Amino acid sequence: MKKTMILIALAVMIAGAAVYWWVHHSAGTSPNELQLYGNLDLRQVNLAFNGNERIETVLVWEGDRVEKGQVVGTLEMKKLEATAAQAKARVEAQRHVVERLVNGTRPQEIDQARANLNAAKADLTNAQLNYERLKKSAGGGATSQQDMDTAKAAFEVAEAKLRVNQKALDLAVIGPRQEDISEARATLLSNEAGFAVSKQDLAYATLVSPTNGVVQNRILEPGEMASPQRAVLTIAITDPKWVRVYAEEPDLGKIRLGMTATVTTDSFPGKKYDGWVGFISPVASFTPKTVETTELRTSLVYEVRIFVKDPADELRLGMPATVRVPLTGIESNDGGSATENRGG
């Protein structure tokens, strides 16, 4: 009986030792290597038209590769083109108004005003002579009072016309008022701003990829109404890619930015991808639900991003991966610095 108890105790000790070894060594606590587990991650861009028109074309499909600056869709442009043409015409018309005011009165217009003044002087002279002649003959009864009144009125009208034509000539010589020129220029600036807005609206009718990547989702189709709040395409940014892992606090002092790493996946057994430590979270967080167990529920960990080189584009978003960070002969990866590859 005593021997049996000893055997049972020995078996428990061996099992405990095995569990201790599995927990620590499977978690990557080897003195020469830190082993971490996580998933492939990358950024996504939701592309939407910055306008409210009907979609005319969507030029890419799921899985298509796109390059930065590539046109991936267009809106209907007839209305936008007409609006831009109308705004351009307003600018041209107002520009001529400003030119006319700045150039001032034409010599021909001044000559015309001077000729009108001379004609008014002649009319005044004629009216004055007629009025004076009638005044001289009025004493003998040869001229009626009505003729006298008519001649006097004509004389006064001629004097008024002379003053009017004199003012017209003065204004023609002086030219436009500075306030009118300033107002015309302000109107021109307003029209130019409206034209710039209409041109920008026309440019927004063309959807351009802001980065290199792969089309992940094609959400809207030609004929649907676009708006800035509705994404047309989702593009996955394939460079850079990284593995999001979580390191426990005791392992945090073993790694630093720029350290080399090796990434492996179950999808490509035996194939290793070069990587480097590109981001270490400055704050701790609770163990994420994706790796949560009863024992780890309250454990604090630090997020670490291992940037990985994938020239063949084999790694996919969410793919489980194993990361091994050598702790002996530590050297930094020249191809990835924390400042160049760190993600928010």
Domain presence at residue 177: yes
- Same domain for 188 and 286? no
Has residue 336 got a pLDDT over 50? no
Domain presence at residue 234: no
DSSP code of residue 139: G
Give the distance from CA 200 to its chain's centroid.
Answer: 11
Listed in order, strand segments (DSSP E) in 79-220 are 206-208, 213-218
Range of the domain at 298: 30-41+241-341
Question: How many separate domains does the chain show?
Answer: 2
Selection from 199, 221, 198, 240 nearest residue 333 by Cα: 240
Give 108 or 243, the one with higher predicted confidence. 243
The owner of tokens 């991650």 is 41
Strand 320-326 and strand 260-265: the pairing is: antiparallel
Domain presence at residue 218: no
- Same domain for 158 and 260? no
Q: How many other C-beta atoms can be found within 10 angstroms of the C-beta atom of residue 198? A: 19
Cross-strand pairs, 74: 57, 206
Q: What is the pLDDT of residues 145-183, one digit of tens each?
A: 777 778 778 878 888 887 888 777 766 666 677 888 889
Q: Of 229-238, 283-292, 310-319, where does mean pLDDT reach its minimum? A: 283-292
Selection from 249, 334, 235, 252 nearest residue 299 by Cα: 249
CA atoms of 250 and 252, how far apart (whole Å): 6
* CATH code for the domain in which residue 289 is found: 2.40.30.170
Domain presence at residue 250: yes
- Same domain for 191 and 260? no
